[in-house]
Amino acid sequence: MTQVLLAFVGASLVIIVSPGPDTLLVLRNAAAGGRRAAAWTTAGILAGNLAWQAAVVAGLAALVRSSETAYDVLRYLGAAYLVYLGVRSLAGWWRLRDARLPALVPEPLAPGAGPGTGASQDAVVGRRTAEEAARPWWSWAQQGLVTNLLNAKLGAFLVAFFPQFVLPGLSRTVGTLVLAAVFLTLAAAWFAVLLLAIGRLGVWIARPRVRRTIGGLSGLVLVAMGALVALGH
């Protein structure tokens, strides 16, 4: 069993760490709303991933994969949503291309924090505009959630991926549950590392020119990804 699990972990890490819409969305929202936005986007992504894992265990994802109509509907909806997010990013970049971004507002320090502490660094890293700070947490989380729920390719992939790893001594259902838990844990660990990196680079990401650049580039890539998904790639 150990060898099978190690092989599964290795294959899963390659898949999880590979750049895709989820990682791009976290970076896009980090530039737009700071580490708080990135964290809630990550929470939405993991919730959507958990929903697909549950669908795989329940056999629902297999139905989506076997039904061409259901698969295409999800695929086109997912593509449309990626294009929508990309167009929003491009619209923001275009609107601000010749304008100065609003002054960044530092977040208050945690109680008891002072100069030289990690919390003071967090305050600098977490700076964002007053308008962005006013956005509710669910507006960031729903982007990650919807992006994952409409990702028909993710469901089809999981249905094809999990059966390649059979855990000796466990039933198919229990084995799939174990694999799903491992996959989700690895995904959460990867996004934790990504959020840590965003925290370290937060001051740089908060620069107006960098934020505009990330917004424009992420918009182009999201639109391109949406088009590729619609075309079945």
User: How many angstroms separate the CA atoms of 139 and 148, rounded?
Assistant: 15
Q: Give residue-wise pLDDT tens across range 1-41.
A: 788 888 999 988 988 888 788 888 898 888 888 888 899 99
pLDDT value for 193: 93
Q: Per-block average pLDDT, block size 10, for the chain (233 residues)?
A: 86 85 87 86 94 84 75 83 83 64 41 42 43 72 91 81 83 86 93 88 72 79 83 71
* Helix intervals (H) in the chain: 2-17, 21-58, 60-66, 68-95, 118-125, 130-133, 137-149, 152-161, 172-200, 202-205, 208-230
User: How many angstroms separate the CA atoms of 121 and 125, rounded?
Assistant: 6
Ramachandran class of 78: left when φ > 0, alpha when ψ lies in -120 to 50, beta otherwise: alpha
pTM: 0.72
pLDDT value for 146: 92
User: How many angstroms separate the CA atoms of 120 and 38, rounded?
Assistant: 19
pLDDT value for 81: 84
| Contact (Cβ atoms closer than 8 angstroms) between residue 202 and residue 34 | yes
For the chain, report the end-to-end CA distance as a whole number of angstroms.
34
pLDDT value for 128: 44
Q: What is the total residue count of the chain?
A: 233
| Contact (Cβ atoms closer than 8 angstroms) between residue 5 and residue 164 | no
pLDDT value for 119: 43
